[in-house]
Amino acid sequence: MKTLIKNGRIVTAADEYVADLLIDGEKIVLIGAHLDESGADQVIDAAGLYVLPGGVDVHTHLAMPWRGVETCDDFFTGHRAAAFGGTTTHVDFSIQAKGGTLHEAVETWHAKANGKAVIDYSFHVAITDLTDSVMAEIAELPKIGVTSIKMFMAYKDSLQVDDMTLFKSMQVAAKSGVLSLVHAENGDAIEVLIAEAITAGNHAPIYHALTRPPELETEATSRAIWLAQVAGDAPLFVVHCTCEGALAAVSAARLRGQHVYAETCTQYLFFTKDALNGTADDPFDGAKYICSPPLRETSDSAALWRALRTGDITSLSTDHCPFTYAEQKALGRDSFAKVPNGAPGIEDRLYMLWNDGVLSGRLTPSRFVELVATNPAKMFGMYPRKGTLAIGSDADIVLWDGAAEHVVSAATHHSAIDYNLFEGRTVQGKPVKVFVRGQLVVDGDNLMAEKGSGAFIHRASPLLL
């Protein structure tokens, strides 16, 4: 099947120009001016539209167990939402069970995706229980296409690892072509602050933010950076960086030449911790915004926006971790400490960044593409198969109407979650058609993909930027 996309404005991290693009089967085979229509099975006129590489979201939690509940999007509803937002590949976190192996974790996540996927996907593996045999497994992960591990420095008594685990994991990762990821917050100090808040009778959602101050993210980020340096300059990717202090630690490391990278997530650009106060009608509404690290101050958001432009933030992810408000967040009605941590956003990332980043003049379209597709594909070993529009790349393509206005709402989004953080906002920018490996998966308001059409992506080692 050959599809010719004509007259679109092609945007890559490097260039922006009007041209035609030919898809043959799953791949892009030709890009040029005035390509011959005669051999094509279908011709799509993309005049007036941008032609973007499909978005790559390297931080999601689909069907993830969390203290007795599970995130409400599985690999079908989560993928459906991603596709409608223009994301065609994601990397989800498979999590080692205590006493289990890393291979079992990856197999468990494969089973979650099998038969459901409609976009392409891959897995990181989160280390929770480091033994000698698990150390040996880290070195073997690239053979199964997994080239990133994650260590949680927070979530005491569940996911959190100690510094010895963190350090040893980084050491073996550095020697194995595996990227180390950290959730950087000081989980021990947070645990003390949570206990103090509860003893004092402070149960409202805002205490989630007050018990996880930015200094504890800054401290953990700095600690992880220095440990990575000593662990053989282990390449380090700091997930969901939220505050000025952590960002300064990342910038300083990068200035020293250390292989340190950071992502931020959409919600940290748009909201502050004030959202955790809820509404006048419903103070518990703040629970919708409980994610970790928490939302910060306006000055932190401003610093993140600057870093998106200057390069100290490498990419934008979502940390899509959806728990329903009516049932799952409600488990913490009597205490913020029982509210499942996480916020949704897999569908919203591209248009929110386009609207407030590109249309506001903060970012060029090329930088936008770099942040949402190219850099994550490079960092996570999928480039140039994913993350760009080039001959030989997968035909993961978004025909993007940069001016289309729409109102964001849970009533119309495609995730299983019952709320949307951006509810009621009018934004511009929307996919018109989305292709995954040459297959049309979204056409306007219609999902065209069949369940199970998404494929696992066997990743290479990171391309260090």
> Minimum distance between the CB of residue 38 and Zn ion, rounded to whole angstroms?
49
Binding mask 239-278 for Zn ion (x = CB under 5 A): ----------------------------------------
How far apart are the C-alpha atoms of 336 and 225, rounded to whole Å? 30
Which of 461, 262, 456 is closest to 371 using CA atoms? 262
Rank residues 80 and 183 by Cβ distance to Zn ion and give the closer one: 183
Q: Which does 341 bind (CB under 5 to 8 A by kind): Zn ion, ligand URP, none?
A: ligand URP
Interacting residues of 365 by C-beta distance below 8 A, sequence separation 6+? 11, 16, 50, 358, 402
Q: Which residues contact 454 (CB under 8 A, 6 or more apart)?
A: 75, 79, 113, 116, 117, 118, 119, 120, 121, 436
Handedness of CA 209, 210, 214, 219 (dihedral sign): negative
If the CB atoms of residues 31 and 339 are measured against ligand URP, the closer one turns out to be 339
**Of 250, 260, 321, 371, the one binding ligand URP by CB under 6 A:** 321
The Cα–Cα gap between 406 and 424 comes to 9
Task: Indicate whether 319 belongs to the interface with Zn ion (CB under 5 A).
Answer: yes
* Tokens 């089967």 sit on residue: 25
Query: Which of 60, 96, 292, 328 lies at the binding interface for ligand URP (CB under 6 A)?
Result: 292
Cα→Cα distances 332→328, 377, 445, Å: 8, 37, 35
Contacts of 190 (CB under 8 A, 6+ apart): 154, 156, 211, 212, 216
Write the DSSP string, 316-362: EE--B----TTTTGGGGTT-GGGSPP-B--TTTHHHHHIIIIITTTS
> Please, which of residues 199-238 interact with ligand URP by CB under 6 A?
none
Nearer to ligand URP, 219 or 319 (CB): 319
73 interacts with Zn ion by CB under 5 A: no
Question: With CB cut-offs between 5 and 8 Å by kind, which of Zn ion, ligand URP, none does residue 91 bind?
Answer: none
Q: Does 52 bind ligand URP (CB under 6 A)?
A: no
Residue of 106, 197, 291, 382 interacting with ligand URP (CB under 6 A):
291
- Residue 156 Cβ, how far from ligand URP at the closest point, in Å? 13
Nearest to 12 by CA among 277, 389, 462: 389
Should residue 341 be labelled a site residue for ligand URP when binding is judged by CB under 6 A? yes
- Please, what is the minimum distance in Å from the beta carbon of residue 353 to ligand URP? 19
Quick one: which of 285, 300, 319, 347 contacts ligand URP (CB under 6 A)? 319
The CA distance from 315 to 367, in Å, is 10
Site for Zn ion in 166-225 (CB under 5 A): 183
- Closest to Zn ion by CB, 116 or 183: 183
Query: Taking the complex as a whole, how short is the minimal distance between the CB of residue 146 and ligand URP, in angstroms?
Result: 17
Of the candidates 399, 384, 394, the one whose C-alpha atom is nearest the C-alpha of residue 455 is 394
Footprint of ligand URP on this chain (CB under 6 A)? 61, 183, 291-292, 319, 321, 341-342
Footprint of Zn ion on this chain (CB under 5 A)? 183, 319
